[in-house]
Each structure stands twice: as C-alpha cells, then as structure tokens.
Amino acid sequence: MTGGEGDSNPPIEGNALAQELLREGQPVCLIARGWSMWPVLRDGDRVEIVPVRPEDLQLGEIGAWVESSPASESGGLVLHRLIRWERAGRIGIFQGDACPASDAPVAAERIVGRVSACWRRGKRVRGAGWGGRLALLLQPLWRALFAAAAAGLRFYRGGPSLLPGSGVRAARERALLAFTQREWSHRGVTVSPFAGVDEVVATVLEDPAYQHLIPLVARGCRLHPIEGLNSDLQKRLLAEEDRALFYSAQTEGLLRHLADVLRRAGQELLVVKGTALAFTGVYAEPHLRQGADVDTLCLPGQERLLTDLLLQNGFENVEPEYPLEYYLRYRSEVALFRRSAPRWPTLEVHWTAGGSLFYGRRLKAERLWQDSRPGPWGKGLRVLSPEMELVHSLAHLTKHLRVLRPIWAFDLALLARQGLDWDRVEHEIALARLEWPAWVVFEWVESRIPGTIPPDLIGRVRARRARGLCAWPELRTLHAVRSRQTRWIEALCLPTWGQRLGYLREQAWPSRFVMERLYPEAHGRSLAFFQVWRWGRIIRESLGKADKSPTGE
C-alpha cells in the first residue's frame, strides 16, 4: 500500500513494533494507508498480517516486506503483491495492483509476512490472498484501465487528490495529537512512529509545524509529570509555557482595550478563530491556544467607520507599503497594531467571512452576526456559537488546504466536544455550499483525531459534494488554492468589475505610492525602470536568482 501524495512505497502505520512482532512469529493487525493495492485493499482498511518464511510466500499473494529506502524515514512495511521470484528465490519482485511499474527488487530476508485477512468498515471483506493468481494474470489489464481512469480524473479535477497524505507524516501527527491529549501510549494497542517520549517532546519543540502544540504539551507534562523525561526538555517546556502565558496576557490586554474603545463609540466587532476559542472556554486555559493575530469580523459596510475609529484610538497600519485605501477597496481585511504596545499581537479586521478566496463570500457575515453572543470582555466584542464557529473554521481552512496545521484539527476536536447540534452544522454547510472543503477537512481531521466528526455526517457531505451545479469549477478552484494559484480567485471575489480590474492592475503595475514605499530610491524619479525591474525580480525569484535592489544596494 502507498501512504501519501507522490510517494511510491511509504510505510503503513505501526511499522517498528509490527516488524518486531512479525520477526518473533506473532501476527499483527494494522491500518493500511494508500491506494496502490486498490481495489483489493483500500486506504483505512484493517489488515491482518501473519508471519511467513520467504520460501512459503506464493506468487500472487500479498506480501509484507520492510522498506529500507532513506525516503521512508525509519523504514516501514509495504504491502504489495508478489509477481515473481529471481535468483533462485533470493530476490522477490513485488508490484501494487494499481501501480504502473514494479517495486525495486526485495531481498528475501526483508520479507516478514503475508496479508491473510482484511476488514472494511468493521466487516471482513475477504481473505486478502483470495484469487491471488487470477489477480496476477489480470494485472496488466487492470493497470491499463486504472491508468485510463486516472487520466480522466486528472482532466476532471485538474490536479492530484485533494486529501492530504496519510503516510508517515499523518502517523506522526496522529501520535503527537494523541500525546497532547495524554492518550498516547508506548505500549499496547496504540503504536507510535516515535522512539520514545523524549523524541515526541523534542519534535514538538523543534519542528515549526508543531509549535502551536507546545503550550498544550507543556501544561500536560506539568500537571501529569512523565517519569524519565529528559530534564533539559522539561526546562524548555516550562520556559515555553511562560512565554505562552506572557503572549496570552498581551492578547487579553489588546482585547480589553479594543472592547473599551468600541463600547465608548457604541460599536461592536465579532471575535473569531483561535482567539475566540482561547477565551471562551473551548480551551482549558487561554494561553493554550496561541495565534499570530487577533481576528475580528465587522458587518459589511462598516469597515471604513471602524478602521477610522481604531486609527483615532492609537492603532496603525501593519503594512504601510500599501495605503489603507488599497485594503478597503481591493481586499477583505486590514491589519493594525497598537502604537503604545508591542507590535504583537496584530489586530485583523475582516468584513467577509472566511477570507477573500472563493468560498469566503458564501458564508455571509450577516448570518454569523445573527448567531453571535456577548463575549467575556463585555459589550463591544462578541463571539460565535460553537456550531457557527466550526462552520466558519471550514470556510477559513479552504484557503489553507495546501498546508493544514495539526492545531486546527485540535480546534475542531474541542469544538466537537461542546455538544454540537450536528444537524445544524450540516444545514449551515449546505446553505453556504461548503460541501467540497468540508469533506476534505473532515477526512483530514479524522485521519489525525479519529472519532471527531460523526461518520454519517461525513458520508452525507461526501455524497452531496459532487452533485451541485458548480461541482467541477468548485473542484478546480480548490486545486488552484492548493497550488497557490489564487490571484484570479481573489479578483473574482471582489463585488464589482471595477474593483476586480483595479486589484489586478495594482498587482501587475502598482501605483506611485506603493512603488515609493517598496523602493525609496524611486522617489521623484520615473517609475518605468522600477516597474520593469520589479517584474524582472519576480521572474528571477521564481528561478531563485533575485537581486536585493534595482540600484545594486
């Protein structure tokens, strides 16, 4: 089985312990990941692997062998069909039923087992070795049909599968999130791709992709000390938790100041995303949910009024290279910071729900406001109900499908534990026409924190996602988002053609104000040279050969 986008033979889950048990002569049950053995084995099937001597593995049977490629990190198990023996039975040649070519030769000593049974959705579908020789004879025909179907799918959807990879990285993130919830065990049923607790903690501390989990891990280790944890790692965790507490206090200070400004002016903003989750009881303590900014939502048409109000009360534009008028006319948000305080955290004021991309304008800001309630900071700042916060999160994650962060899975898992009205969530998804991104995000969350989303809800969303009138353009749009080809989407989301053309013009040929902000040496000089140089620099950046300044400085 394969287990990730673009990989040919990644390991399935539980590789280290499974290999050890098989070599000791004990059978194991694992979750298969990937689609290289489709349709006999599918992603998520539970398979039983029994030990086998290499000479007893028959042609056509699905063997389990140890992958030793450096690309597979620590190595893992691969489940592919044996198609022939070479060198008097010392070398086995394997191939996935859906793969266009055979695997690299496998030495006999690396063969550790044979797939004996398979369960799908709790039911035993067949012994996985059944019909092996027939499948071996039909492999060329099946692969040709599979290749033709894949070509048709590529034309239809415009790219590879939208679902994130479910190989080694998914297994690591699943173990990290389970450890964060203190459900991770180094023994028993749960099999981790980590060598031990020290490696789990070191990964969270050192990998930027998991930095948002640090306060959660630090608090868990402080409340429930782990025997044998490296003392240096413990000290780093305590220091990181202190830093999280400091930043959380800064965020709370910004929110209270903002609520006071709005209350005195008789205005309101809606706090959404991570900050709302941190301070409304979804997380046990506010510092456990760190964010890069404070996201708020105003009603459409009030963005100028509220921006002017904030500028008059000590806030400034975070990105002065573009005038505020640019953001008010061509974007759906403006970022500000307090002059009398550190630049972190920034305050983002949005006036479309979920960002400026394709699905952002389908979730109406007015509907979110109708379902809001006063927040813990008093009059001036409001928060969403858990159901609408989850739906808003789906709209927000649509533009982040390329890189989904584990903390977002944790957000949705905690929201799901608030006793949600799932019928209402489904209704709001249908109303906002968010079936495609909802299905992608739900499947991704389930691959990281199983049991978060009701299976029947996922099934209904999956069934409806392709039946809409705009299914094909929606799918192509999501692929464009994942490949970061989003400029044309942002332009199309603006309300008028004048704004759309103006936005594209600013991107292609910025105004003098913007150019002089970007290049101070352009002040008072002709912009033609700098515009041409800017485009040359964009091209050179794409080739990895960018210069620092048009004047060589």
Q: Are 115 and 129 within 8 A, CB to CB? A: yes
pLDDT higher than threshold 80 for residue 216: yes
Which pLDDT belongs to residue 484? 65
3-state secondary structure of 436: helix
CA distance 338 to 341: 5
pLDDT higher than threshold 90 for residue 440: no
**Token representation of residue 68:** 């030793």
Domain match, 51 and 117 both: yes
Domain match, 528 and 474 both: no
The stretch 510-529 carries a mean pLDDT of: 80
Which pLDDT belongs to residue 95? 87
CA distance 400 to 488: 17
Domain match, 329 and 431 both: yes
pLDDT band at 321 (very low <50, low <70, confident <90, very high): low
Q: What is the pLDDT of residues 223-249, one digit of tens each?
A: 888 777 888 998 999 899 999 999 999
Sheet with 269-272: list strands edge to edge: 315-317, 333-338, 346-350, 293-297, 269-272, 381-384, 372-374
Give the residue, 147 or 275, on which the prediction is more confident.
275
Which pLDDT belongs to residue 186? 39
pLDDT higher than threshold 50 for residue 72: no
Beta strands at 293-297 and 346-350: parallel, antiparallel or unpaired: parallel
Give the residue, 50 or 472, on which the prediction is more confident.
50
pLDDT band at 136 (very low <50, low <70, confident <90, very high): low
Domain match, 398 and 535 both: no
Give the residue, 124 or 85, on which the prediction is more confident.
85
pLDDT higher than threshold 90 for residue 408: yes
Which pLDDT belongs to residue 123? 80
- Is residue 472 one of the residues assigned to a domain? yes
Give the residue, 505 or 142, on which the prediction is more confident.
505
Q: What is the CA radius of gyration of the chain?
A: 27
pLDDT higher than threshold 80 for residue 343: no
**Token representation of residue 503:** 């936005």
Which pLDDT belongs to residue 483? 67
Domain match, 472 and 518 both: no
- Of 364, 363, 385, 390, nearest in space to 373 by CA: 385
Q: Which of 122-131, 328-337, 387-396 has the highest mean pLDDT?
A: 387-396
The stretch 177-201 carries a mean pLDDT of: 65
CA distance 409 to 527: 47
Domain match, 114 and 77 both: yes
**Domain C-terminal end among 97, 128, 157:** 157
Q: Are 259 and 251 within 8 A, CB to CB? A: no
- In degrees rounded to 5, what are phi and psi of residue 374? -60, 140
Q: Distance of alpha carbon 432 from its chain centroid, rounded?
A: 21
Q: What residues have CB less than 8 Å from 407, skipping those under 6 apart? A: 212, 213, 274, 289
Residue percentage of the chain with pLDDT more than 90: 27
**What single string gives the DSSP state of each residue in 261-300?**
HHHHHT--EEEEHHHHHHHTTSSSSGGGS--SEEEEE--T
Which pLDDT belongs to residue 491? 74
- Is residue 339 one of the residues assigned to a domain? yes
pLDDT band at 276 (very low <50, low <70, confident <90, very high): very high
Domain match, 319 and 274 both: yes
The stretch 168-177 carries a mean pLDDT of: 81
Helix (H) or strand (E) holding 326: helix 324-330
Please tell me what DSSP assigns to residue 483: T
Give the residue, 331 or 422, on which the prediction is more confident.
422
Domain match, 478 and 365 both: yes
CA distance 210 to 501: 39
pLDDT higher than threshold 90 for residue 345: no
- Of 326, 263, 272, nearest in space to 298 by CA: 272
- Is residue 180 one of the residues assigned to a domain? no
CA distance 112 to 19: 7
Which pLDDT belongs to residue 445? 93
CA distance 226 to 205: 16
Q: Which of 149-153, 277-281, 437-441 has the highest mean pLDDT?
A: 277-281
What's the full length of the chain, in residues?
A: 553
Domain match, 396 and 545 both: no
The stretch 307-336 carries a mean pLDDT of: 86
**Token representation of residue 300:** 């459409």
Q: What residues have CB less than 8 Å from 437, skipping those under 6 apart? A: 359, 394, 395, 397, 398, 401, 478
pLDDT higher than threshold 70 for residue 185: no
**Domain C-terminal end among 157, 184, 217:** 157
Q: What residues have CB less than 8 Å from 71, skipping those under 6 apart? A: 7, 10
68-82, 107-121, 387-401, 470-484: range with lowest mean pLDDT: 68-82
pLDDT band at 469 (very low <50, low <70, confident <90, very high): low
pLDDT band at 71 (very low <50, low <70, confident <90, very high): very low
**Domain C-terminal end among 98, 127, 157:** 157
Which pLDDT belongs to residue 291? 83
pLDDT band at 264 (very low <50, low <70, confident <90, very high): very high
Q: What is the pLDDT of residues 365-388, one digit of tens each?
A: 888 999 899 999 988 999 999 999
CATH number, domain of 291, equals 3.30.460.40
The stretch 396-417 carries a mean pLDDT of: 88
Which domain, by its residues, includes 377? 239-487
Q: Distance of alpha carbon 360 from its chain centroid, rounded?
A: 17
CA distance 461 to 115: 33
pLDDT band at 303 (very low <50, low <70, confident <90, very high): very high
Which pLDDT belongs to residue 318? 87
pLDDT higher than threshold 70 for residue 504: yes
Give the residue, 99 or 461, on which the prediction is more confident.
461
- Is residue 497 one of the residues assigned to a domain? no
pTM: 0.69
- The mean pLDDT of the chain is 81
- Of 445, 438, 439, 435, nearest in space to 470 by CA: 435
Residues forming a β-bridge with 107: 91
How many structural domains is the chain composed of?
Answer: 3
307-316, 456-465, 468-477: range with lowest mean pLDDT: 468-477
Which pLDDT belongs to residue 100? 72
Give the residue, 247 or 542, on which the prediction is more confident.
247
Q: Residue 4 carries which side chain, given as an amino acid letter?
A: G
- Is residue 100 one of the residues assigned to a domain? yes
Which pLDDT belongs to residue 157? 65
Which pLDDT belongs to residue 124? 82
- Is residue 1 one of the residues assigned to a domain? no
Q: Residue 11 carries which side chain, given as an amino acid letter?
A: P
Domain match, 471 and 524 both: no
Give the residue, 197 or 248, on which the prediction is more confident.
248
pLDDT higher than threshold 70 for residue 319: yes
- Is residue 549 one of the residues assigned to a domain? yes
Which pLDDT belongs to residue 250? 92
Residue percentage of the chain with pLDDT more than 70: 81
- DSSP H helical segments within 15-123, as ranges? 15-23
CATH number, domain of 33, equals 2.10.109.10
CA atoms within 13 A on the CB side of 338: 17
CA distance 398 to 434: 9
pLDDT higher than threshold 60 for residue 11: no
Q: Are 95 and 37 within 8 A, CB to CB? A: no
pLDDT higher than threshold 50 for residue 148: yes
- Is residue 80 one of the residues assigned to a domain? yes
Which pLDDT belongs to residue 306? 95
97-101, 256-260, 424-428: range with lowest mean pLDDT: 97-101
Domain match, 392 and 251 both: yes
Q: Compute, in degrees rounded to 10, the torsion defined by CA atoms 229, 232, 235, 241.
A: -80
Domain match, 541 and 474 both: no
